[in-house]
Amino acid sequence: MSVAAPLERLRSGEAVIGVIGLGYVGLPLCRAFVRAGYRVLGFDIDSEKVALLERGSSYVDAVPDEDLARMRAAERFSATSEEARAAECDALVVCVPTPLTPHREPDTSYIERTLDAVAPHLRKGALVVLESTTYPGTTAELVAPRLAERTGRVPGEGFLVAYSPERENPGSEWTTDRIPKVVGADDPRSLEAARALYERAVVRVVAVSSTRAAEATKLLENVYRCVNIAVVNELKVCFERMGIDVFEVIDAARTKPFGFMPFWPGPGVGGHCIPIDPVYLAWKVKEFGARANFIELASEVNGAMPRYVVERCVLALNDQRKALRGARVLVLGVSYKKDLGDVRESPAIEIIGLLRERGAQVAYHDPHVPRLGRGRAYRLDLESVELTPERLASSDLALVVTDHGAVDYRLVVEHAPLVVDSRNATREVRGDATHVYLA
């Protein structure tokens, strides 16, 4: 097969696309490629996930079972754990996790293991696109050299390399195909191939000058959110001391038709992006003798919110002459975002841990998360309980961590003896209730 063959197949739409990592980014991307007419092969090291997908069962909220059924019925999607099948693909898109180490440094081990696994099977001229969020320089300094070493080929000739940051927004109307796609490469042929891959699948492709520029674009997007959320989180603490409702202030400020965009405080930040990605940039810039002071401060402010919420619980219980130790706390919502079942980096995990450390008896209710078992950073053994008047009345405190739309907050306010609300979810129903505290 000639070097040009995969590129020509991408242009014609006849290419086979491999998506590595079938999570909240990879599986929606598979759907977008299938809808674009490609045949898609999904790879994941988790054999249970592969088995579920092959049975037609989706574990990602954004891709319902009926969408998966259509993908399979069209015979354009299948899932596998067999690395050797990478040889079937004209393009491989890498969507694996990029967490932080315990020392809060980038952990690129998932990327490295993926590259090592597929390199022996990489087609000549095939395109490899990294979508995992990471620091500027990862594609040029890690991906291209590692593949070159493992394959004995020259990047841009023997294989093509590009970077395109994922921009998923779970729980919104912005599906993968409707979000403009930034792509960057370090040679013209790789950029041409990346554009050809995505132009069929998304509404618009935005090409930038290099992989570093594309990597930095994603980090800017998340730093922007991280810093602005930190500002309102800090103001929440300040305004509480001053007897001012921060939510009322933000609502009033957002009436200004220019120069202001509302961000909302909460119990911390979650998901893969905001808690982790800005730290990648802050780590990388030190290599160049610079410091990302705003990023580091914003991460510190947001990271302190779970402890602030727990302290508000202590204060609320103290006002009722009760201690947190031994108190029955019902946590409402454990996912990191409203109306989703995703608990990645959710502040609820740390909050539950802190409550337990202080001797509280913790239960939780979440209509989207039936069980909290074991994650990369936690070990819990809890199952969601039913939200009933009796359950609320028997609790010493109901703590709103995630403001799911399916929760009846009027029921919560009427039956819980004490409520701590970190999301302002009770605003429409609490009235002048003195047993509801904002956190």
The catalytic site residues sit at 273
Q: What residues contact residue 432 under an 8 Å CB cut-off, 6+ apart?
A: none
Is-contact 135 215, C-beta < 8 A?
A: yes
Helix 4-12 and helix 188-199: axis angle, to 10°?
30
Distance of alpha carbon 265 from alpha carbon 268, whole angstroms: 8
Q: Which of 261, 315, 275, 255 is nearest to 100 (CA)?
A: 275
Question: Residue length, the chain?
Answer: 439
Residue type, 29: L
DSSP summary character for residue 201: T
Distance CA 404, CA 102 (A): 31
Distance (Å, rounded) from C-alpha 153 to C-alpha 162?
A: 16
Q: Are 396 and 416 in contact (CB under 8 A)?
A: no
Task: Please report how many Cα atoms fall inside a 13 Å half-sphere around the Cα of residue 348, on the Cβ side.
Answer: 33
